[in-house]
Structure 1
Amino acid sequence: MTLPPVIFGTLIKRYKRFLADVELEDGNVITAHCPNTGRMTTCAEPGWRVALSDSANPKRKYRFTWELVHNGDCWICVNTGRANQIAFEAVSNNLIPGLSGYAEVLREQTFGNSRFDLLLKNGDDLCYVEVKNVTLLAYDGCYAFPDAVTERGTKHLNELIKVVKAGHRAAMLYVIPRSDGSGFRSAHEIDPQYADALEAATASGVEVHAWLAEVTPKEIYLSEPVV
C-alpha cells in the first residue's frame, strides 16, 4: 500500500498510550496521535527518527499521526491499522499462497462473539482471518507477539477454534513490519495465556501465517513469509 505523504522528526517521548511528542526537522515540537495500544517495546526509544502523516484537518485535536520509526537498522510501522490494510491488499491480489484463490474478500465480519478482520469466500467455502501487527523484537532476536497482555487476542484464538469446529477454515496472519530479526513465535514471557491459546488453536487446525512487510516512508507491502 502507498502511505500518505509524511514529514520527519525525532521522538521525544510516547505517553498515555495514544500520544507522542516529536521534534520536527524545523525545530517545532508537536504532539502526534499514536495509533498503537501495545507497549511498543523495541520501537519507541526517545531520539529515534519518526515519520508522521498529516491529516490536514484543522478540527482534529492531534493533526499528525505517528506512522513509522527508524531504529538505526530499519523502518518499523507502528500504526497498527496499516497491517489490516496491507493484509487486505495482499489477500485480494492473491499474494499469500495459503490464503489465495477466493472470489470474495470481506472486511470486519462476525462469527460467534468476535469480529474478524477478513472473511474469504468461495460460495459456502469460508475462511476467517485475524490480522495482528507484530512490532516486538524479543530478547532472542525473534519477532514475537504480543508485546503486552491481550485478553482480546486470546478471545480471538478461542473463537477461531470454534470456526474450525464449525467446518470452516480459520487463520492467524501476523504482519511483521520490520526487518531486523529472524523467526516468529508467541511472546510466552509476556502473555503465557495467549501463548497457550495459540498452541491450542494450531493443534485444533487454525492456520498460522507470518509475513515480513517491506517498510519505507512511501509504501508498505508484504514481502516474504517468515519461517
Structure 2
Amino acid sequence: MKFLQPLQMGRLIRRYKRFLADVRLPDGAEVTAHCPNTGSMLGCQPDDARVWLSASDNPKRKLKYTWELVETAPGVLACINTARPNHQAREAIEAGRVPSLAGYAGCRSEVRYGAEKSRIDLLLSGHPSRPDAWVEVKNVTLAEAGTGFFPDAVTERGQKHLRELMAQVAQGDRAVLFFVVNHTGIDEVRPADHIDARYGQLLRQAVEAGVEVVAWRADLADEEGNPSGGLSLTEPVPVVLDE
C-alpha cells in the first residue's frame, strides 16, 4: 500500500478540536490540516514535531491537507491516520501475507453483526475448511520503550467489540483482533492496563474464549528514518498478555 503522491513535510504547531492541526511548511507558510484521528494520540503530537501531510486537489474539500505521519522521536515514525489500518490489514490478508488468515475467497467490510449492533471491520468467508473469520482492526501508535500499548484512552467501544468477538466464537465462527502497528519504534504489543484496565481484562477473557490476536507492523520508514512512501504490513509483532 503506497501513498498516491509524495507527502509534504512540515512542523506541528498544534492539534485542536480533535480534527484540526496547524502545521508550518518549510517555506514558512502555515496551513490547517485535517487530523483523521478521534483518539487521544498520546505520544503522537510532540511540540514542533516533524509531520507529513497528504494533499488533495478535490475542490469540494474544505481542507487541502490531511495529517498522515509524525516523528515521535528522532527517526521514529507513526501513522496517525485511523482511516488507514483497515486498508492495510485487508491488503495484507488478500495478498496472503498473514498466514493465519490465508485461504479465504471473500472479504467484506463494515458488515453489521452482534447483539450490541456493531460493524465488523473485515468479514472473511469462503475458506475450504475453516469457518468465517470476523476481524476487528485496531491501530497501535502508543509506544513506551519499545512496547506498543492499546488503547491510548479508555474505550467503551473497544470493550464492546471484544464482547461481540467472543459471541461470534461461541456461535462457531472465528474471531480475530488484528493490531496494525503503525509505529516504527514498537517491538511488541500489550494491553494498556494502566489506561483502561477493563479493556485489558476483557482482552484476556476473549483470548481464553478463543478469540485470536495478531499484530503486524507497517513499513513506514526507510533506513534514514524518513517516510518510505509505503504503508504495507511486512512483519508480525508479538502480542504479550502477561500482567
Mapped contact 1:11–1:49 kept (Cα < 8 A): yes
CA distance in 2, matches of 1:125, 1:180: 35
**Structure 1 residue 182 displacement after superposition:** 2.2
Gaps of 5+ in 2: 222-226, 239-243
Counterpart for residue 29 of structure 1: 30
* Count, aligned residues: 226
CA distance in 2, matches of 1:197, 1:16: 31
Counterpart for residue 193 of structure 2: 188
Corresponding residue SS for 2:54:
strand
Pick one of 147, 154, 157 that aligns with 1:149: 154
1:125-160 superposed Cα distances (whole Å, 9 cap, x missing partner) = 21000000100013x531010001111111000000
1:178-218 superposed Cα distances (whole Å, 9 cap, x missing partner) = 12132110001111111111111111000000111111431
What is the one-letter code of the residue matched to 1:146?
P
CA distance in 1, matches of 2:163, 2:140: 20
CA RMSD of aligned residues (A): 1.3
Runs of 4 or more, structure 1, over 3 Å off, are none
Mapped contact 1:13–1:45 kept (Cα < 8 A): no
Corresponding residue SS for 2:162:
helix
CA distance in 1, matches of 2:233, 2:186: 16
Corresponding residue SS for 2:132:
strand
Gaps of 5+ in 1: none
Indicate yes or no: 2:203 matched with 1:198. yes
Counterpart for residue 17 of structure 1: 18
Pick one of 118, 123, 134 that aligns with 2:122: 118
Counterpart for residue 109 of structure 2: 107
CA distance in 2, matches of 1:77, 1:181: 12
1:107-130 superposed Cα distances (whole Å, 9 cap, x missing partner) = 111221210110110168210000
Pick one of 77, 85, 88 that aligns with 2:87: 85
What is the one-letter code of the residue matched to 1:81?
A
Indicate yes or no: 2:242 matched with 1:223. no
What is the one-letter code of the residue matched to 2:118?
S
Alignment of 1:149-188 (within 5 A): 149-188=154-193
Q: Percent identity?
A: 48
Counterpart for residue 4 of structure 2: 4
**Structure 1 residue 56 displacement after superposition:** 1.4
Q: TM-score, normalised by structure 2?
A: 0.89
Corresponding residue SS for 1:8:
strand
CA distance in 2, matches of 1:144, 1:157: 16
CA distance in 2, matches of 1:85, 1:161: 24
Instruction: Identify the range of structure 1 (103-112 vs 201-210) with the bigger mean alpha-carbon deviation.
Output: 103-112
CA distance in 2, matches of 1:209, 1:184: 9
